[in-house]
Amino acid sequence: MLPERNSDAAGRLLSKGLWIGAALLAGACVAYASNGAPKAPSAPLLTRDFEGIWSGTQGVIWETNLKPGEPENPPFTPEFAARYQAARAAAAAGKPKADPPAGCLPPGIPRIMASPFPFEIIQKPKTIYIMFEYMSQVQRIFLDGSGPGSLGLATFNGYSQGHWEKNDLVVNTVDLNPISVLDTTHVETSDALKVEERFRLIGADKLQVTITLDDPKAFVHPWVTQRTYVRKSGEQILPYVCEENNRNPIKPDGTTDFIGAK
């Protein structure tokens, strides 16, 4: 399994396993309303200073009010509900469907926001960069229409444009690769997926991101979740080489293996 990440650099280099074992990580949950939907975002601070290194406070499960091992509850269309049930049945039979990151493919936007590894935000006047330690990925956010424009090519991190709404950073991402899945329970999306991320400081060193997934092929209505992160002073983003200690390789039959620690 993937050990919980800590600030010790040597310990982090030993935690290169992928997210099959990571689903066992526990994390604190954000507040949820009685109907299971996330509550309204907290009041923002009067600042736009998101720079620094951030670490998540929840586990790798997409719906943060669930316990590890519980199935997700997306507002699926019938087709994608059937796909999810088939994936769950395969996992229960001991033959889980291949998880793309197990083959060292990037998790993509938005799944990478649930990574147990930290990310660094670098702010420039026209561009914001999010540098993820996990698989050394980068999300480039063009502000206020300053980017080159979408080429319509599907990639793991897509094409992101952002704007400010008071002190909230609102990021819209399109052109996402549908090969990505949202978590290890195999929640699938389609080539119609659009992602909105609303970044808001709710404390001097506490960041809240409200993530809305809009995919009319996969969901009957947008799926919303909230995640929180804390700013980590004195941390560094380390190189991450997936092949260096991959404990979740994809087997010849297309299922995902798990190699325990020796």
Residue 252 lies in a domain: no
Quick: pLDDT tens for 93-135.
988 888 888 888 999 999 999 999 999 999 999 999 999 999 9
Give pLDDT tens digits for 74-88: 999 999 999 999 999
Show the CA angle centred on residue 72, arms to residues 159 and 70, nearest 5°.
140
Give domain status of residue 38, yes or no.
yes
What CATH number corresponds to the domain at position 78? Answer: 2.40.128.20
Instruction: Tell me, yes or no, whether 248 lies in a domain.
Output: no
Pull the structure tokens for residue 228: 């929180």
Dist CA 238 CA 3 (whole Å): 16
pTM for the whole thing?
Answer: 0.79
- Is the residue at 157 inside a domain? yes
- Domain range for residue 202? 9-240
Can you give the pLDDT at residue 256? 66
- In a domain, residue 16? The reply is yes
Q: Nearest to residue 60, comparing CAs of 151, 233, 187?
A: 187
Q: What is the DSSP letter of 254?
A: S
Tell me whether the omega of the peptide bond preceding residue 125 falls within 30 degrees of 0, making it cis: no
SS (H, E, C) 41-67: CCCCCCCCCCCEEEEECCCCCCCCCCC
Sorted by sequence, the CB contacts under 8 Å of residue 158 that are 6+ apart come out as 108, 109, 173, 174, 175, 176, 177, 195
Q: Which amino acid is at 141?
A: I
User: Domain tally for the chain?
Assistant: 1
Does residue 14 surpass a pLDDT of 80? no
What phi and psi values does residue 186 have, to the nearest 5 degrees?
Answer: 75, 50
Residue 259 within a domain: no
Q: In this structure, is residue 261 part of a structural domain?
A: no
Residue showing tokens 């923002």: 44
